[in-house]
Structure 1
Amino acid sequence: MVDDVKADEVAVRTRDHKDFWDILQIVLSPLGGLLTALAVASLGYMGSRTIERQQSNEAKLRLYSELMTRREESEATLRKEMFQSIIGSFFDARSEQLESKLLKMELLAQNFHEALNLVPLYEHLEREIATSQMSAEAKRGYAARLGELAREVTRKQMIVLEAGGKRFDWTVILSDSLTAGTKSEQLEDVELTLGGITRRFRVTLSGADLVRRELRVGLEIETPAQEGVSGSAASRNSVDFPLGFFSTPMIDNTRLSSDQRVAIVLTDMNDFGATLSLVYFPGSRASLREKPYYEEILRKLSDTTIGPD
């Protein structure tokens, strides 16, 4: 009898326990579906927002690219028309006014100095000034204006080249023997490192023309054997050239191995002394007309693909 009562109590508790879980299941089943629906909706909303933001950014980027392309095309068209108009005037027989030619030279130099070698035009105007029938004072004024234009172009280029390269300056006293061309003068050697490559530069002056404001310069470049430099790139070579105010570093430079350049600039000169600068810079900052060799492009692509160890 007692056992039957206990069995009934256990059965009642079991039934009550099942009823509780059944009720809980009934209550939570819709809630679980609701939570699942909310989770799916939230994920869908966040996903759609992400896609919308991505599409919006892509649309803005396309718009910006189109605007920049149109701007560059408009600028290129304007520069082309300007260049054709200015350069044509130098060969127009009816254009005889020196003031007009000098003004056009200023426009040409200020807008196209990164792409053109302007030395022939500088020298042409210099000869026209010297042979003109104007007064000596007017000639000096035009010559000073032309020289200042050349120095201003050089200053602009030096700012660009220094930002990605290295610079070294010398101040030289012009001796009588140097101006006479009977004795050369060697300047202080300089060692500079750019892009992990160290080079030594030696500058020698062999003459000075005080009338034309020019120096005769010899430049010796030594690339010693070092890590990261191939055996063929380790070498010593030299160049000799006239240096005046009309020479610009982006155009008048010496090509080195590993797509690098070096240029000497005459920044100031009078009857007593001169100031020179050496700028050592990557080829990417050279004149727009300077194109890297095919082998240099392949080497850069290979270095980029492999990357540092």
Structure 2
Amino acid sequence: METKDKSRDWVDTLAKLLPGIGAIIAGIFIPLVIHINAERSRSNQLYTEIVSKREMADTELRAKMFENLIKCFFGSTSQQKTNKEKLTLLRLLALNFHEFFDLKPLFEELETELGEIEEKNKLREIAKEIAGKQEALLSHIKEGMVFERVLYEGEENGIIVPPEDMNPYRDHRLGIVLKEIGQNEAYVKLHVIDIPEGVKDVGETAELCFEVSFYDMPFIDNTKLFNATRFAITLKDIVMDEKQKKAARIKIIFFPETYMSTRDRPYLDEMLQQLRKSKKGI
């Protein structure tokens, strides 16, 4: 009996102490948790503010740089630039701002001013350099597809991409025919047919005819399809085979409609990564 009484007394004592102990623990840990969450929230807010200010400063710097380059490129009647200087300025513009605006009019305008073949070849090399940078960025997208093909004129030499031994890109295949190689090999005319996977009625396909020059860039000169898909075609070169027959070497690039350029992506990626870390720590 004495043992049972002692056990009961111990339980009663513990029952009386527990609320007090719980209140002490709650009084310590609840404010601590609130403080930790508040500090984390302030850290996230500060980080977002820093990234936003950095992006704003970068934008302002680029805006000033763009304005100065444009002024230098066009100049005034009293400050005419040589063709070599204009080529250098256009390359600077293209390298720094090719993701933001269409460069094609500037390339075409300058080409009309250039007289020497070497100068025109240099202009095309600049355009190829910029197009190559954009192609490289798009080719590294996980959901993208890139094909390089050599096309001869005529319906009989048409191609299908992706080829039939590969899966279509988001239910799309393109039939491409080279209709014409333009004057001075400056452009090509293409006939493109969008062939959705599983389509049996030819009337359900979409057809496009357009010109592609060395100055068309995939970020700007692309076509939207259904299923949040875009495709771009770039002209790489005009080649000649052993029979002296001309052909066009082109690249066909498929990429998601939601693609974001790498100039914007780092800021967003950093912020998302920081937020994910914060959520894991809660």
TM-score, normalised by the number of residues in structure 1: 0.69
Q: Secondary structure at the match of 1:284?
A: coil
8 Å Cα contact 1:218-1:240 kept in structure 2: yes
Q: CA deviation at 1:189?
A: 1.5
Structure 2 gap segments, 5+ residues each: 242-246, 263-282
| Structure 2 residue identity aligned to 1:52 | H
**Alignment equivalent of 1:146, drawn from 87, 102, 123:** 123
Residue type at the aligned position of 1:274:
A
- Give the drift of 1:203: 0.7
Aligned pair 1:56/2:27, yes or no? no
Structure 1 CA distance for aligned equivalents of residues 113 and 105 of structure 2: 12
1:50 is paired with a residue of what secondary structure? helix
Partner of 1:297: none
**Match of 2:220, SS?**
coil
Q: Residue 26 and residue 34 in structure 1: after superposition, are their counterparts in 2 closer, same or farther (change >3 A)?
A: same
Q: Matched residue of 1:270: which SS? A: strand
Amino acid at match of 1:282: P
SS in 2 for 1:247: coil
Q: Kindly indicate whether the alpha-carbon contact (under 8 Å) linking 1:150 and 1:246 is maintained by their aligned counterparts in 2.
A: yes
Q: 1:184-199, aligned counterparts within 5 Å?
A: 186-191=157-162, 193-194=168-169, 197-199=170-172
Cα distance in structure 1, aligned partners of 2:238 and 2:27: 74
- Matched residue type, 2:114: I
The aligned counterpart of 1:269 is 238
Of the three residues 176, 181, 190, the one matched with 1:217 is: 190
From 257, 272, 275, the equivalent of 2:226 is 257
Report the equivalent of 2:68. Answer: 85
2:89 corresponding residue in structure 1: 104
In 2, distance between residues paired with 1:170 and 1:281? 18
**Number of aligned positions between the proteins:** 247
- 1:305 is matched with none
* Equivalent position of 1:205 in the other structure: 178
Which structure carries more relative contact order (alpha carbon 8 Å, separation 6+)? 2
In 1: Cα distance, 2:261 partner to 2:12 partner: 75
Q: CA RMSD in A?
A: 3.0
Q: Distance in 1 between matches of 2:62 and 2:91?
A: 14
Asked if 2 retains the 8 angstrom alpha-carbon contact of 1:205 and 1:217, the reply is yes
Q: Give me the identity figure in percent.
A: 26
Q: Match for residue 116 of structure 1?
A: 101
Q: Deviations over 1:60-113 (max 9, x none)?
A: 110110001101111111121122222233332223222322222112111221
The CA distance in 1 between the partners of 2:233 and 2:261, in whole Å, is 15
Q: Is the 8 A contact 2:188 2:248 kept in 1?
A: no
Any idea what SS the aligned residue of 2:159 has? Answer: coil
Change in 2 beyond 3 A, CA 1:271/1:287: farther
Deviates more, 1:234-243 or 1:276-285: 234-243
Of 264, 283, 288 in structure 1, the residue corresponding to residue 257 of structure 2 is 283
